[in-house]
């Protein structure tokens, strides 16, 4: 199967192609476009035209909303096929892909509804004037997404962008373009109301195609999700070009904090779910488990016992709890981090490649115990690796939790609600869960403090990121100023 770029509702060949690999088996799933800077420029021109002079400008908010509802309907109608494709492409267990696809549709519905709720404000200026704001779409937006939730994270950006009235060029991660291209195919076939050029998809390498989008003088904003170092590159590219607007959803090393009075059974489930879901390839992974010293030994024993029961294997099997990591290259990165961990920390579980599954990129769920200074406690590994860090009292927990350059997420577990709320206030992170970790809703804002990002996705805040605010000042007085 050879898939091309989706530009102005047509399939357009790029300069070169690249294979897309199934990480569970190593087989080639498809060949996709490997876009050059020129290929990206073609897509940007289509988006520019659709925004500047195409019908999208005059499409009403109600019509935009209906188009998003139609997209959501199509996703739900083809949910089973999309989920299977997602699992084959990125390796996540099929049950998780099914969940993600439904979430993707929910996101489109939410922003479909919001299209008609965009509104400005009026301001109390002196009597001889009226002052108000208009909300307007930012323009052409480049959407750059990673490989861990390929379809879902694309919809987190596409939903608010289209709802706001922007046109987009979407670049999937090089490893996982398939569900996004399939989404474009379904939209082309089933949502004919979408004008050409509003949604464009270009696949390709980050430093080539992604960079071309970031540095384009014709793009008004970049909405980026990916690693913190890449986020830095994006900011440099934006500074080198037209100072376009930018929002960044970046990495994390999130603390999952357990006090001695927590329910040990629920807590150890939460510690494992917090980090091992999606093979640990989660930006908000609770990859630092902070455990109060009194319960540390018992906590660790229970984590070890439950980890031994985690079923690794064919991600299309409904009983599988952990699939392969996304690629050979990523597996090698994760294994290198584990090898460093073995030098500096106590290995408690796992610690290598799953030898029983040699055909795919399977890494054992791995637990280390160390202090917060070890590199495995500081660097984002983005794989099934967790570091357990014992702590003394509440102040100690807060100090360790905040001792990181990241600030995406945190969780706190205790039966003492006063303590939980003190920790919620003290931890510098964009989301803090209490007695749970990872639930995520489109109605609520998502984003990071510190080096975990700029701006927020989802909710009303997420839509604001795709809007400009224009102040309008109307003079009501007909008398001359009398200044000259
Ligand atoms: P990555 O930074 O390598 O790639 C992300 C995207 O950026 C890909 O599409 C890639 O092609 C593109 N890219 C790479 N170099 C680029 C460049 N120079 N210019 C423009 N685009 C470029 O990240 P990844 O490995 O795909 O994803 C993992 C990272 O994403 C982790 O750090 C994770 O924490 C982060 N992430 C964050 C969130 C969040 O909501 N905060 C969500 C998911 C993933």
Locate the ligand 1 atom nearest the alpha carbon of residue 226 and give its number: 30
Centroid of ligand 1 to alpha carbon of 298 (angstroms): 37
Q: How far is the CA of 26 from the centre of ligand 1 (A)?
A: 22
Give CATH 3.40.605.10 domain extents, the chain.
Answer: 2-250+452-471
Provide the 8-state DSSP code for 15. Answer: S
What lies within 8 Å, CB to CB, of 332 at 6+ separation is none
Rounded-to-integer distance, Cα 103 and Cα 290, Å: 30
What distance lies between CA 470 and its chain's CA centroid?
29
Which of 86, 182, 215, 249 is catalytic? The answer is 249
Any atom of ligand 1 within 6 Å of the Cβ of 250: yes
148 lines ligand 1 (CB under 6 A): yes
CB distance 325 to 352 below 8 Å: no
Question: Could you tell me if the CB of 54 is within 6 A of ligand 1?
Answer: no
What is the torsion angle, in degrees rounded to the nearest 10, for the CA atoms of residue 468, residue 56, residue 215 and residue 158? 80
> Distance, CA 226 to ligand 1 centroid (Å)?
2
Dihedral in degrees, nearest 10, Cα atoms 202, 203, 205, 209: 0
Residue tagged 């879902």 (tokens): 152
Ligand 1 centre and the CA of 72: distance in Å?
25
| C-beta separation of 221 from 466 below 8 A | yes
Q: Count how many residues are written for the chain.
A: 484
The dihedrals phi and psi of 457, each to the nearest 5 degrees, come to -110, 165
Q: With a 6 A CB cut-off, is 214 part of the ligand 1 pocket?
A: yes
- CA–CA distance, 147 with 142 (Å, rounded to integer): 17
Could you identify the atom of ligand 1 that is nearest to the CA of residue 171?
9
* pLDDT for the residue numbered 480: 86
Q: Which CATH architecture has domain 255-434?
A: 3-Layer(aba) Sandwich (3.40)
Domain with CATH 3.40.309.10 in the chain: 255-434
CATH class of 2-250+452-471: alpha beta
One of 262, 283, 361, 420 is an active-site residue; which one? 283
What is residue 243's predicted lDDT score, i.e. its pLDDT? 98
Mutation to probe ligand 1, out of 150, 221, 226, 251 (largest number of atoms < 8 A from CB):
226
Report residue 361 as tokens. Answer: 């990129």
- Residue 252 in 3-state DSSP? coil
pTM (two decimals)? 0.98
pLDDT of residue 57: 82
Distance of alpha carbon 14 from alpha carbon 414, whole angstroms? 54
Hey, is 129 helix, strand or coil?
strand
Is 249 a known active-site residue? yes
Q: Which residue has the tokens 């499409």?
A: 59
Does the C-beta of 230 come closer than 6 Å to ligand 1?
Answer: yes
Alpha-carbon torsion, ordered 398, 401, 405, 406, to 10 deg: -120
**Structure-block tokens of residue 114:** 């919001």
Residue 83 CA: distances (Å) to CA of 152, 190, 316: 11, 19, 10
Any ligand 1 atom below 6 A from CB of 445: no
Q: What is the pLDDT of residue 58?
A: 86
Q: What is the pLDDT of residue 1?
A: 83
Report CA 173 to chain centroid distance, whole Å.
11
CA of 146 to the centre of ligand 1 (A): 5
Extract long-range pairs of 224-227: CB within 8 Å, 24+ residues apart. Answer: 224/144, 224/248, 224/249, 225/144, 225/145, 225/146, 225/153, 225/156, 225/157, 225/249, 225/250, 225/283, 226/144, 226/145, 226/146, 226/173, 226/250, 227/146, 227/251, 227/380
pLDDT along the chain (484 residues), means of 10: 96 97 98 98 98 92 98 98 98 98 98 98 96 98 98 98 98 98 98 97 98 98 98 98 98 98 97 98 98 98 98 98 98 98 98 95 98 98 98 98 98 98 98 98 98 98 98 94 88
Taking the centre of ligand 1 as the mean of its atom positions, its distance from the CA of residue 484, in whole angstroms, is: 57
Pick from 146, 283, 408, 454 the residue to mutate for probing ligand 1's pocket: most ligand atoms within 8 Å of its CB. Answer: 146
How many whole angstroms separate alpha carbon 349 and alpha carbon 148? Answer: 24
215 in contact with ligand 1, CB cutoff 6 A: no
Residue 250 C-alpha from the chain's centroid: 8
**34 CB within 6 A, ligand 1:** no
Helices of type H across 280-384: 293-308, 328-344, 375-378
By the 10 Å C-beta count (0-12 exposed, 13-18 middle, 19+ buried), 157 is classed as buried
Q: What is the pLDDT of residue 235?
A: 98
């Amino acid at each position: 199967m050879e898939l091309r770029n989706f530009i102005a509702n047509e399939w357009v060949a790029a300069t070169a192609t690249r294979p897309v690999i199934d990480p569970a088996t190593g087989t080639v799933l498809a060949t996709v476009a490997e876009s050059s800077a020129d290929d990206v420029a073609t897509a940007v021109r289509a988006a520019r035209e659709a925004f500047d002079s195409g019908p999208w400008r005059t499409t009403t908010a109600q019509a935009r909303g209906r188009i998003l509802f139609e997209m959501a309907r199509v996703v739900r109608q083809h949910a089973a096929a999309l989920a299977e494709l997602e699992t084959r492409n990125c390796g996540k267990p099929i049950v998780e892909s099914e969940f993600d696809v439904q979430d993707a549709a929910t996101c489109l519905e939410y922003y479909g509804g919001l299209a008609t709720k965009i509104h400005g404000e009026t301001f109390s200026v002196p009597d001889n004037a009226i002052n108000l704001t208009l909300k307007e779409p930012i323009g052409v937006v480049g959407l750059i997404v990673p490989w861990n939730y390929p379809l879902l994270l694309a919809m987190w950006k596409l939903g608010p962008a289209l709802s706001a009235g922007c046109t987009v060029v979407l670049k999937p991660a090089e490893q996982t373009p398939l569900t996004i291209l399939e989404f474009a195919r379904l939209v082309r076939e089933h949502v004919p109301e979408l004008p050409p050029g509003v949604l464009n998809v270009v696949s390709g390498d980050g430093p080539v195609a992604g960079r071309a989008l970031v540095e384009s003088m014709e793009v008004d904003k970049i909405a980026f999700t990916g690693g913190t170092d890449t986020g830095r590159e994006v900011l440099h590219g934006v500074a080198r070009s037209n100072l376009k607007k930018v929002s960044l959803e970046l990495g994390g090393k999130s603390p999952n904090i357990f006090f001695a009075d927590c329910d040990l059974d629920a807590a150890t489930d939460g510690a494992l779910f917090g980090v091992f879901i999606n093979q640990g390839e989660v930006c908000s992974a609770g990859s630092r488990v902070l455990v109060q010293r009194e319960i540390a030994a018992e906590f660790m024993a229970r984590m070890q016992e439950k980890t031994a029961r985690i079923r690794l294997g064919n991600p299309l099997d409904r009983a599988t709890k952990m699939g392969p990591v996304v690629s050979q290259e990523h597996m090698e990165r994760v294994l290198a981090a584990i090898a460093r961990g073995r030098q500096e920390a106590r290995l408690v579980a796992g610690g290598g490649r799953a030898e029983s599954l040699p055909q795919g990129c399977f890494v054992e769920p791995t637990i280390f115990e160390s202090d917060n200074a070890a590199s495995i406690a500081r660097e984002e590994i983005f794989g099934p690796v967790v570091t357990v860090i014992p702590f003394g009292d509440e102040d100690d927990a807060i100090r360790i939790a905040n001792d990181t350059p990241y600030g995406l997420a945190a969780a706190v577990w205790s039966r003492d609600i006063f303590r939980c709320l003190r920790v919620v206030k003290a931890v510098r992170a964009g989301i803090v869960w209490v007695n749970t970790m990872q639930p995520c809703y489109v109605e609520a804002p998502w984003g990071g403090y510190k080096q975990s990002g700029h701006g927020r996705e989802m909710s009303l805040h997420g839509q604001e990121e795709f809007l400009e605010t224009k102040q309008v000042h109307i003079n009501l007085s007909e008398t001359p100023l009398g200044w000259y």
